[in-house]
Amino acid sequence: MLQFFSKYKPLAIVMAILSIIIISSIYTLLKPEKKLPVFQPDMVNSELVDTTVQFVRKYHKIADFNLQNQNGETITQDTYKDKIYVADFFFTTCLTICPIMTGHMLDIQERLKDDPDVLLLSHTVIPVADSVPQLKKYALEKGVNDAKWNLVTGDKKQIYELARKSYLATKSDGDGGPYDMIHTENFILVDKEKRIRGFYDGTNAEAIDDLLDDIEILKAEY
């Protein structure tokens, strides 16, 4: 009997290995690895997208920018080179959704404080009021970590074009001006190639958990 099993031992080992491979393959097919979509302007509510890019279906990326943060430092795409980041739009005197959004961004900051691959970026929609000193005051009051999170101000036209042509995250307020808008509650997840990979309700705690989960999925791509 022992000689019988000894004779077929190599075959048994091969069959066992094949069985493991087959079972693993079936599991992978039944539960494929999740991958985040790459959002294009034509996939987003047209109210949030400038008419010049509404029908773009591929190759959409965040445009280059040149803004100033709460410390008066110049912030550009190079600041976020090879980083995943979460962006939003706000203003420091907002009393409606902004305090909730800021609270949730602070939560993200805390939960990712030891992750050097992920940064945060908040754009004011009222740059004439939100000067560098005002942003600094706000940052100190809220507990913003300068190494992790930039609050930026700058040219109004540039910020508004970024909002509607790049981040696809704001609505025109209907006042008739070409650069008038109202910001939404959206947090935007941007990958290392400057592409939008997700939109999340910045006022919803469950959506923040989804965002953090999706960041881990996105990190697995690199």
Give the whole-angstrom CA distance, residue 134 versus residue 203: 23
**Coil, helix or strand for 112?**
coil
Whole-Å CA distances, 151 to 16, 53, 89: 57, 26, 9
Give the whole-angstrom CA distance, residue 209 versus residue 165: 27
Q: What are phi and psi of 68, to 5 degrees?
A: -120, 140
Q: Is 98 annotated as a binding residue?
A: yes
* Contact of 67 with 153, CB cutoff 8 Å: yes
Q: Is 60 annotated as a binding residue?
A: no
Give the whole-angstrom CA distance, residue 187 versus residue 205: 12
- Quote the crossing angle between the two packed helices 205-219 and 98-111, to the nearest 10°: 40
Binding residues: 94, 98, 183
Binding residues for Cu cation: 94, 98, 183
